[in-house]
A and B are shown apart, each in its own frame.
Chain A
Amino acid sequence: MSRPTTEATLPFEVALASYDPVLGLEVHVELGTQTKMFCGCAAVFGGEPNAQVCPVCLGLPGALPVVNEKAVESAIRIGLALDCQIASWCRFARKNYFYPDMPKNFQTSQYDEPIAFGGHLDVELEDGSTYRVEIERAHMEEDTGKSSHVGGATGRIHGATHSLVDYNRAGIPLIEIVTKPMTGAGERAPEIARAYVATLRDLLKALGVSDVKMEQGSMRCDVNLSLMPKGSTTFGTRTETKNVNSLRSVERAVRYEVGRQAAILAAGGTITQETRHWHEDTGVTTSGREKSDADDYRYFPEPDLVPVAPSAEYVEALRATLPEPPAARRRRLQAQWGYSDLEMRDVVNAALVDLIEQTVGAGASAAGARKWWSGEIARRANDAGSDVPTLAASIGVGPAEVVELESLVTGGRLNDSMARAVWEGVLAGEGTPTVVADARGLQLVQDSGALEAAVDRVIEANPEVAQKIRDGKAQAAGALIGQVMKELKGQADAAAARELILAKLA
């Protein structure tokens, strides 16, 4: 198969000078339920192909679906967290089309009666402003099986000699969350798209309904994008770019489609309504299946399932289980910890919020917790391609170690540079901070006689600096403190040394 030729694109800024993007995002989330949407098979990632299947999810003749109540509960909680209305009565519908990885040749989904509708999600942007994304709907459906196309160059069906189908994924509960078309985003469209997916991911994680791992496909994003001439209010023809599966790709895919569509429109062409594929490696989208009016899924209400009719009491009981929204929680913790916006953003981006909250809860200062968790260990995590919580857990370091380290400093046993050395030892697996400090013989000089003697020697050896201090230039004391540290092999209390120097040269 020949690779599709790369299409012309206009630079993003040029495109935006003439066109306004209209953005819509469809996010599929695999729920973390124990069992599948309509049968008792295990709903877990991986596993021997076609081992987690039964007559129901294989679509054998006569098998019938039964709704997973936990999935309905998760769907309602997601809807509530997105400030949606919850349907008091709704049905599943069959979406009919033939494909070998779909056991029944229809997908049991929801059509015009979604479980949740009409919500919104506020996303915070880099500049500190907030953009409100309107949510059209969130509905329940089942995943399809997974096809692997073998023998071709690209792993796609074209050029493959044969295909393998794994039905383990067939019937895994999915929630599809669809935004209303977002207008007025302008040049912020790529950022908004990314921020929306990131915010949604945090929210779903906080809800505990999914592991939201984009790289494993448990959260998948389709990007709908169209352009309209600046000033127009009539939407253009949209494309649907499928399986954009990382935050960075969401941003890049939006940016690419804006440029690609603008080039076509600027040249007097028309946009084809179609499904497009995102290529992570080359950063482009290519044409997939053409969508047209001929696409007819012949939806009708699923007669094998009774309607879902959650009572108001049940919905309110679920509302009471909602966690604090991640953005509100971040604002609360930032105020509580006294971090700057920049510090807070770094902490959030490094996934340190939970760890710092636990560490502060265990008795550490907010500044100390941030300092220790975002220093050396963050570098190591980055090198290992991991994150701090994962690395910390793997080496058995937690809030208690930070609290202990900090108390060694505040208790006067260690100064800052000694504490860093101790922390490195802790991270190297040498033991608790106290054990490491003991083993390395790290202990500030407590003997005031030794400190005074060192101070005297340094003053004597540096008469010019001493004179400056006598003349009132207190900041010159730093040079002498450094010398004292050297005399005492770093094990001096810098504050005590400073006080002594200033007293002697007053």
Chain B
Amino acid sequence: MTNELITSSASELAARLAAGEISSVEVTQAHLERTAQVDPAIHAYLHVDAEGALAAARAVDARRAAGDQLSVLAGVPIAVKDVMTATGMPTTCGSKILQGWVPPYESTVVTRIKAAGMPILGKTNMDEFAMGSSTEHSAYGPTRNPWDLERIPGGSGGGSSSVLASFQAPLATGTDTGGSIRQPAAVTGTVGTKPTYGGVSRYGLVALASSLDQAGPCGRTVLDTALLHEVMAGHDPMDSTSINAPVPAVVEAARRADVSGMRIGIVRELTGSGFQAGVQQRFDEAVQHLRDAGAEVVEVSCPSFTYALAAYYLILPSEASSNLAKFDAMRFGLRVLPEGIGDPSAEQVMAATRDAGFGDEVKRRIILGTYALSSGYYDAYYGSAQKVRRLIADDFAAAFERADVLVSPTAPTTAFRFGDKLDDPMAMYLNDIATIPANLAGVPGMSLPSGLAPEDGLPVGFQILAPAMQDQRLYAVGAALEARLLHAWGAPLLACAPTLNAVGQEA
């Protein structure tokens, strides 16, 4: 019974909860037990809120018993990335500088999740301030990939991808600045969507790069992800960049799973050399599945994508250097007094705190961004990067003239081993080559599993990109591909993952 409660999809759980066959307390309890069992090995959570989750579960069960009208996902538990403020729980962003900080206010996303009656199991691990592709930059230690504990779970949202892949939660939230939802989904065999920029409120999400950050849903199926998408998305007057328009009908698109007559564009620059052979092979097979499902496949070229990584690593550090300036020990968070200085000044306390509280990758990007924005360098760096950003948006616009969606592998490789790229930031950054263009242009993207790479038996991600505010196309294509792959495999991909019970017992 317990096993079934944790392996079921969110939509299955929702249906059984609505039918009164199971209670939210049972479902929540089952996931908390799973966490107690496997998370010591995985380390996906930075904070587990068993008490709060069970209280929320009891409340939603009581409302259901009283005959209240409840939202679709009411009673289905969820894990929240630690970048999102929630009252009653710490928000650390994987950083020492926020250790123990309990925010006095709540992000709009978390408020919506609570309003939907979804118990929050806890806060998931991440690279410090979402800077990284492996969770190795978390100040609290890395999260392990349930497929291979010696490998990275992706990043920055490796905690969220791992709770899904290890059945510790049926749903999770993420934020995606350059691929932090999609790349972790790809390397763990799960699903994740970065909605159109402005589709989900950023209010209460600790900012990395404001013009690139976008929160989105993570799940094990395309439909689950769509259901959570509709909970999270919608206009928020507290975020002036939030889109004031109806949320795209993503659940309906996921249910219809229809790609007949759709034009699928393969991005020439995001395939071929530089992509692992097994990654390319699974991608090509997936494209054939879509062709078989009635889609027309075309090739498009986006020549400016070549410069996306360079532009991204100027824009992101620039905005981050400014966004992270508020961590100064004056009003909240860590405060470190400098050693050997009696009666230190405010500036000395700021410096000592930032030195002790920020990790190396954060410092690296603050220094990069500060430099790029400096007088005399601004035009050459930040200014040029903004021009590239415009060219990339133009490339997307031209490509979407020829295709309804664009597709590529999500990441060039399957999950790499811990430490493999830690000393080579450029190699780490290159992991995001396929995901970054969508953030620069603000268009929506999804990653879903397309199989295991034959050479290492690890999950491969398939990326779908759509024009801004056409998020439903991701779900139509994703659900169609998922259905055909499921049929071909005979079982969900995660059924192939190691059973962590055994791993846990061995450990």
- Give me the interface of A with B, judged by CB distance under 8 Å: 54-55, 58-67, 94, 96, 98, 100, 103-106, 163, 165, 293, 296, 298-300, 303-306
Contact = CB atoms under 8 A, between A and B. Distances in A.
A66 B373 contact: no
Contact of B241 (A105, A293, A304): A304
Contacts of A163: 346
B347 interface: yes
Contacts of B205: 62
A61 B375 contact: no
Main secondary structure of the interface of B (DSSP, over half): loop
B322 interface: yes
B91 interface: yes
Interface stretch (B61-69, B98-106, B394-402): B98-106
A494 B178 CA distance: 94
Contacts of B350: 98
B84 to A, nearest CB: 8
9 contacts: A62-B84, A62-B91, A62-B103, A96-B321, A105-B326, A296-B375, A298-B322, A300-B373, A300-B378
B288 interface: no
B241 A306 contact: yes
Contacts of A298: 321-322, 370, 373-375, 378
Contact of B202 (A60, A64, A300): A64
Contacts of A165: 330
Interface of B: 84-85, 91, 93, 98, 101, 103-105, 107, 202-207, 209-211, 237-241, 318-319, 321-322, 325-328, 330-332, 346-347, 350, 370, 373-375, 378, 382
B242 to A, nearest CB: 9
B91 A67 contact: no
Contacts of A61: 85, 91, 93, 98, 101, 103, 206-207, 326-327, 332
A59 B331 contact: yes
A135 B319 CA distance: 32
Contacts of B346: 100, 163
B317 to A, nearest CB: 12
Given A61-B85, A96-B373, A104 B325 contact: yes
A163 B346 CA distance: 9
Nearest to A53: B331
B322 A300 contact: yes
A253 to B, nearest CB: 29
Contact of A62 (B85, B209, B331): B85
Nearest to B236: A64
Nearest to B329: A100
Nearest to B328: A105
A303 B209 CA distance: 8
Contact of A96 (B211, B322, B327): B322
A104 B326 contact: yes
A312 B9 CA distance: 53
A147 to B, nearest CB: 9
B138 to A, nearest CB: 17
A63 B204 contact: yes
Nearest to B346: A100
A66 B240 contact: yes
A103 B326 CA distance: 7
A306 B321 CA distance: 20
